Amino acid sequence: MFLDKIAKKLLKAGLFDIEVGFENGSVVLRGELDSWEDIVNAGRLAVDTKNSRGVINDIKLKGFEEPPMKMPLLNDDKYEGKKVDVLVIGGGIVGCSILRELSKWNLTSLLVDKEYDVAVNQSSRNDGEIHPGIDLSPDCIKVKYNCRGNRMYPKLSEELGFTLKRTGQYVLYTKPIGSLVWPIIKARAKKNEIAIENVSQKELKKRQPNVSDEIHGATYYPNVYVVSPYEVTIAFAENAVTNGAEIALSTAVIGMEHKDGKIYSVKTNRGTIYPEVVVNAAGVYSDRIAEMAGDRFFTIHPRKGEEMILDKKASALMDTVMGRFDISSSASHTKGGGILITADNNLLLGPNAVETPLREDLSTTPEGIDMVIKKQQTLMPRISKGSIITYFAGVRASTYEEQFVIERSKKVDNFVQAAGIQSPGITAAPAIAEDITKYCIEAIGKNISKNEKFNPIRKPIPKVRELSTEERDKLIKENPDYGVIICRCEEISKGEIIDALNSPLKVPTIDGIKRRVRAGMGRCQGGFCSPQIVKIIADHEGISIDQVAKKQQGSEILVAKNKGE
């Protein structure tokens, strides 16, 4: 019955020759269409959360062959035959926070990720806002994890030593609708205990003088924080490793073997692993992993977002998070971007939202950047394109239901999913990790005791630029390398770089260092410091300078000796 309704909806939308079926409790769409937009639209129209678990959208795009997953160059047998209690697939913030949560228990756990570092994709390509949870439907699963996660962050920041800035957030009214929407917001906020404040135009101008005169006021959410999402992910990963968990980078899952309705083994480019339980935290590839595991009931339709970073000088304009109130861009998709002061004190603009069939397309476009800047200029006219120092793109792992998939598989006994995680994934991750860990322990099916030796504290790498003169002097007296500045724009010392090379999850590449200590993230974008960092890495690792890479294997900086050498 409901399938007929979906079929009718598709026809009404002009989407012909689509076969509507029902498999594994989900709506299945098959056929071929000319445009990606139509395919995404079909997927959306097929959503019926009452009658199905999800949408499997297998409609093909005419003339398009999805490129194969980008694989690491590495091939060895380091993990051949390895037995673990829990195998986590995916080293984003979700996977890494799960790994840390698992390390609180007496079990063996291994996280695999195909990239050269953790937090390479979605988890480093977002604004790092710890959301209040207001712009979501008040009963959905996303809001539950959002509100729980938000409350966990202050303690996590203390334990793991990452920067957490309580910036608050202003949702700005571009039309005089403040008095109209206030009662609705108030009711929503009450339901999930979200602190709010109604801010008049006059008061807003007083607090944030650079906001456009066209703005009619705002709702203010005091419990909004900003973090560096990759700093947090690395912190989770390092603390997990310190507590006995293992991380295998450049390790891609390429297949699974089943026995007795369970996953028996997981094949990677570095050998076959034999886990008791498998966790799917694979981001944009999470539906593929679900398929391998034998319980696919949702589809990831990748949604790209472009963001840009402004020179620190522009941070004089504001010190908070701002977005526009927009009924049309309803919560389920994206807020459409805003302006945010990052944990490292740069202004960040964006992101936009573009549906794409390419899961790993991290390219930026002039149109995207121009669109974002124009949009944000309507909130803050003094923002200028000239102060952009860099920009980047990320791909969100959105499902057609626009909801998180967090469950122990009803079909495959030893499979647990944390899939389809997009915004507010950073906020939600620690809460998701608690539940996933519970499911893992249930799935193992025997008594697992608490890890009494678990140490929640991670000692971060000092940020010399943020210390007082006295503290900084003391630190340099203990280790003179903290006084040698290598990255002049961000004021990063040699000591910090060496600390990163000695950290529990070291990634001895230019970008590995950059993501840990910020060397090369300033206005010169590594022009002055990258040659020096190449030398520091080579010296510390005992390799020659032409073996030092920017990112993964195959991205070595220096390609040949000079002819004259």
298 vs 482 by CB, closer to other proteins: 482
Taking only Cα atoms into account, the Rg of the chain, rounded to an integer number of angstroms, comes to 24
Tell me whether residue 275 or residue 394 sits nearer to other proteins (CB atom): 394
Of 97, 253, 530, 536, the residue at the interface with other proteins (CB under 8 A) is: 530
Q: Backbone dihedral region of 526: left (phi > 0), alpha (psi from -120 to 50 degrees) or beta?
A: left
357 is an interface residue for other proteins by CB under 8 A: no
Query: Between 382 and 410, whose beta carbon lies closer to other proteins?
Result: 382
- Please list every residue from 301 through 330 that binds other proteins, using CB under 8 A: 313
Q: Which is nearer to other proteins, 174 or 555 (CB)?
A: 555
DSSP classification of residue 460: P
Chain residues 333-352 in contact with other proteins, contact rule CB under 8 A? none
Of the candidates 131, 258, 301, 540, the residue annotated as catalytic is 131
Query: Based on CB atoms, which residue is closest to other proteins, 58 or 311?
Result: 311
Q: Which stretch binds other proteins (CB under 8 A): 44-52, 97-105, 273-281, 479-487?
A: 479-487
Looking at residue 424, what DSSP letter applies?
T
CA angle 111, 117, 121 (to 5 degrees): 95
Contact set for other proteins, span 483-512 (CB under 8 A): 483-485, 488, 491, 493
User: Which window, 29-37, 136-144, 334-342, 480-488, contacts other proteins (CB under 8 A)?
Assistant: 480-488
Beta strands 82-89 and 109-112, pairing class: parallel
Nearer to other proteins, 190 or 535 (CB): 535
295 close to 278: Cβ distance less than 8 angstroms: no
Q: Which stretch binds other proteins (CB under 8 A): 3-11, 329-337, 430-438, 543-551?
A: 543-551
- Minimal distance in Å, beta carbon 123 to other proteins? 16
Taking the C-alpha atoms of residue 556 and residue 163, their distance in angstroms, rounded to an integer, is: 31
Contact 440, 289 (CB under 8 A): no
Should residue 546 be labelled a site residue for other proteins when binding is judged by CB under 8 A? yes
Residue 327 or 559 with smaller CB distance to other proteins:
559
Specify the residue, 259 or 563, whose C-beta has the smaller distance to other proteins. 563
CB nearer to other proteins: pick between 41 and 555:
555
Compute the distance between CA of residue 101 and CA of residue 99 in angstroms, rounded to an integer. 5
Residue 456: other Cβ atoms inside 10 A: 14
543 sits near other proteins (criterion: CB under 8 A): no
Give the range of 98-106, 216-224, 250-258, 465-473 binding other proteins by CB under 8 A: 465-473
Of 526, 166, 394, 558, which Cα lies nearest the Cα of 517? Answer: 526
- For other proteins, which stretch binds (CB under 8 A), given 9-17, 155-163, 217-225, 557-565? 557-565
Residues 6+ apart with CB under 8 A from 327: none
d(CA 94, CA 110): 14
CB of 515 vs other proteins, minimal distance in Å: 13
CB of 464 to other proteins, least distance (A): 7
Subset of 44-73 contacting other proteins (CB under 8 A): 70
Instruction: List all residues 6 or more positions away from 280 whose beta carbon is below 8 Å from its beta carbon.
Output: 89, 90, 286, 289, 290, 293, 415, 416, 417, 418, 419
Beta carbon of residue 491, minimum distance to other proteins (angstroms, whole number): 7
* Residue 110: its H or E element: strand 109-112
In the complex, the smallest distance separating the C-beta of residue 553 from other proteins, rounded to whole angstroms, is 9
Q: How many residues bind other proteins (CB under 8 A)?
A: 57
Beta-strand relationship, 415-419 and 55-61: unpaired
Q: Residues 27 to 46: which contact other proteins by CB under 8 A?
A: none
Candidates 14, 469, 502, 542; binder of other proteins (CB under 8 A) is: 469
For residue 376, the minimal CB distance to other proteins (Å) is 17
User: How far is Cα 167 from Cα 153, in angstroms, rounded to an integer?
Assistant: 13
Which of 442, 473, 539, 541 contacts other proteins by CB under 8 A? 473
Q: Which of residues 384-423 bind other proteins (CB under 8 A)?
A: 388-392
Query: Among residues 524, 100, 148, 165, which one has the least CA distance to residue 344?
Result: 165
Among 150, 152, 168, 169, smallest CA distance to 160 is for 152
CA dist., res. 449 & res. 107, Å (int): 8
With CA atoms as reference, report the closest residue to 318 among 221, 209, 458, 466.
209
- The answer to whether 227 touches 343, Cβ cutoff 8 Å, is yes
Determine how many CB atoms are found less than 10 A away from the CB of residue 471: 12
> Which residue, among 390, 256, 250, has the nearest Cα to 312 in the 3D structure?
390
Select from 48, 246, 434, 481 the one that contacts other proteins (CB under 8 A). Answer: 481
* CB of 368 vs other proteins, minimal distance in Å: 9
| Residue 396: Cβ within 10 Å count | 26
Q: Are 295 and 288 in contact (CB under 8 A)?
A: no
**Residue 516's closest CA among 28, 32, 104, 124?**
124
Q: Are residues 46 and 29 in contact, defined by beta-carbon separation less than 8 angstroms?
A: yes
x/- track of binding to other proteins for residues 362-391 (CB under 8 A): xxxxx--x------------------xxxx
Nearer to other proteins, 95 or 522 (CB): 522
Per the annotation, the verdict on 216 as an active-site residue is no
Among 65, 139, 260, 565, binds other proteins (CB under 8 A): 565
Annotated catalytic residues are 131
Site residues for other proteins per CB under 8 A: 70, 313, 362-366, 369, 388-392, 464-465, 469-470, 472-473, 476-477, 480-481, 483-485, 488, 491, 493, 523-528, 530-531, 534-535, 545-546, 549-552, 554-565
